[in-house]
Structure 1
Amino acid sequence: MSNLIEIENISKSFGDKVVLKDVTFNVPYGSIVGFIGDNGAGKSTTFKTVLGLISKDGGTVKIFGEENINKYVKIKENIGVVFDAMNLPAHLTIKQLNKVFKKLFDSWDQANFYRLVNAFSLPIDKKVNKFSRGMSMKLSVSVALSHNAKLLLLDEATGGLDPSSREDLLDELKSFVSKSNGGILLSSHIMSDVEKIASHIVFIKDGEILLNEEKDKFYENYAVVDIDVEQLTLLNKEIFVAKRKYDSYFSVLVSDKKKLPNGMAAQTISMEELSVFLSRSEK
């Protein structure tokens, strides 16, 4: 088994609104998958569907090779989860939370929990409901990293953090993957974070996956070309990813610049530019 998560053709609608359309991608062992897209694109719905918090209309989700993780308590203990809104008891302090988690998780690592709490400069005697959003995110990540999970699902976990704190948190995530050969599915609007630590990139728009690629291959092979209508017809359909229309030309994202026809000038594209391009693109 080479993947921690295998998502295949999952679909989901709320009433008449289709929010996921045949979503397919994997989270391999030893990887950090950057899951990017605008608000409302389907990222949080994908997270909740993967965790079995909401039902899916079709498709399959396997975690550690199993389809229905709610049947397996031990499997759930191997997953660390951080959502955009904190889901920890607000009336407790960090000291009290530590006692709760010692009873809740067989593999609770108190030493690592307090190491992270100290590294993130969190007050251990202050009630959690007095924490800022950034402090709450740091605490949630500290918990997720302290019960020997093999898989982390992090939905906007770096939101609300100052640049220095984000740097510390990203370093902890990279260390987790390198030491455990675990995996992370990380959604973020901060492209510099994704660029820094992701090994794979998955972009979702309107519930559809537009891009699913290893980051190194993206930088090596992908490019943007500015072409007119006639040149667009000459483009190999196999390398076409998405396009943006301007007054007199198209900007086209291609997956292999080596297969471009002669005379088409390829332009490199950054992660930030990719996010904007795909958000505003058409098929």
Structure 2
Amino acid sequence: MENQNILEVHGLCKKYKKFALEQVDLVLPKGCIMGFVGENGAGKTTTLKCILDIAHRDSGSVDIFGQDSRKADMEDIGVVFVEMNYQQDITGNNINTMYRNIYRNWQEDTFFGYLDRFGIDRKKAYKTASRGMQLKLQLAVALSHRARLLLLDEPTSGLDPVVRDEMLEIFQDFIMDEEHSILFSTHITSDLEKIADYVVMIHEGRVIFSEQKDTLLYQYGIWKGNDSSLAKLPKNAVLAVSRSGFGVSALVNREKLGRNFEAERPSIDEIMLHLIKGEQIWAE
């Protein structure tokens, strides 16, 4: 039976002097978009680099298209990294010439079509472009060699809301045939709420949750009140508690909370903030 997962990561570990990825697991099915979230330094970029074997993993497995990632055809993977930079004087025309000689499946018309769509002057030097334009140029490359998997590190960072919305439409179009998938890290969780099928949260090198987005937003809730009313909640329903001058809020499991207590539908931001900054309860 054909493997329906385009990417599988199991038990991924990578240790540095002051940081370590520990037992990272994630599974990305075909035809899906997975958002990868966590605070700065949580391990998102390191995980992506290990998937690409830019950073060599210490242990664990990474399979892409059903085989070890180190044997995968990199032409099938489109990549955008925040820290990835081209030679400063390179232009869109230069990039087209370069990749035409690198990728077997390079699509010149597609590339120039994206440059026109993104408003990128193909004769303009890379160094003169804004950060947002540089990201759009990288994305144009990633989308122009018939990649089946996109690995994107903050692809909408620095883009205005209108352009970001256009990018999200492009991502949705990319997976429409259910043979392509996207894994992208982001701090803009509202983007995930619009288009993600799965959300993975990493904190201090460990995956805190990996869930279908709709399940995540249905399963969790935000309860608000005070300490005396908090004490009345079912203890196995409370995952994390935050206190402020406005009162007490708790991240809860809505199913375990029961019908006698009300909880608001959370945003992904609220779930993250409670799990990272709140008092950890970790209901079982």
Scaled by the length of structure 1, what TM-score is found? 0.89
C-alpha contact (below 8 Å) 1:11/1:22 kept by paired residues: yes
Change over 3 Å in CA distance of 1:245–1:276 after alignment to 2: closer
Within the candidate set 216, 220, 244, 2:241 is matched to 244
Deviation digits for residues 127-175 of structure 1 (CA, Å, limit 9, x no counterpart): 1122111110000000000000000000011111111211121111111
Partner of 2:52: 51
Q: How far did residue 114 of structure 1 move?
A: 1.0
Matching residue's letter, 2:210: N
CA distance in 2, matches of 1:6, 1:206: 21
Deviation digits for residues 99-120 of structure 1 (CA, Å, limit 9, x no counterpart): 1111110001111111111000
Deviation digits for residues 165-213 of structure 1 (CA, Å, limit 9, x no counterpart): 1112111111111146311011111112111111111111111111211
Q: How far did residue 250 of structure 1 move?
A: 6.7
Report sequence identity in percent: 36
Change over 3 Å in CA distance of 1:218–1:180 after alignment to 2: closer
Partner of 1:270: 267
C-alpha contact (below 8 Å) 1:19/1:41 kept by paired residues: no
CA distance in 2, matches of 1:267, 1:161: 30
Matching residue's letter, 2:47: T
The SS at the match of 2:68 is coil
The SS at the match of 1:178 is coil
Change over 3 Å in CA distance of 1:219–1:207 after alignment to 2: same
- 1:7 lines up with 2:9 in the alignment: yes
CA distance in 1, matches of 2:104, 2:153: 25
CA distance in 2, matches of 1:192, 1:111: 32
Change over 3 Å in CA distance of 1:230–1:66 after alignment to 2: same
CA distance in 1, matches of 2:143, 2:260: 51
Matching residue's letter, 1:6: E
Q: How far did residue 121 of structure 1 move?
A: 0.2
| Structure-to-structure mapping, 1:94-105, within 5 angstroms | 94-105=92-103
CA distance in 2, matches of 1:80, 1:192: 23
CA distance in 1, matches of 2:216, 2:61: 27
Partner of 2:86: 88
- 1:218 lines up with 2:216 in the alignment: yes
C-alpha contact (below 8 Å) 2:197/2:214 kept by paired residues: yes
Scaled by the length of structure 2, what TM-score is found? 0.88
Q: How far did residue 279 of structure 1 move?
A: 2.6
Q: How far did residue 251 of structure 1 move?
A: 4.2
Q: How far did residue 88 of structure 1 move?
A: 2.6
Partner of 2:235: 235
Partner of 2:255: 258
Q: How far did residue 246 of structure 1 move?
A: 3.2
Partner of 1:28: 29
The SS at the match of 1:35 is strand
CA distance in 2, matches of 1:182, 1:84: 22
CA distance in 2, matches of 1:39, 1:179: 33
Partner of 1:61: 62
Count of residue correspondences:
274
CA distance in 2, matches of 1:61, 1:103: 29
Matching residue's letter, 1:246: R
| Structure-to-structure mapping, 1:95-244, within 5 angstroms | 95-179=93-177, 181-225=179-223, 230-231=231-232, 234-236=234-236, 242-244=239-241
Q: How far did residue 272 of structure 1 move?
A: 2.6
Q: CA RMSD in A?
A: 2.2
CA distance in 1, matches of 2:69, 2:175: 24
CA distance in 1, matches of 2:209, 2:151: 19
Gaps in structure 1 of 5+ consecutive residues: none
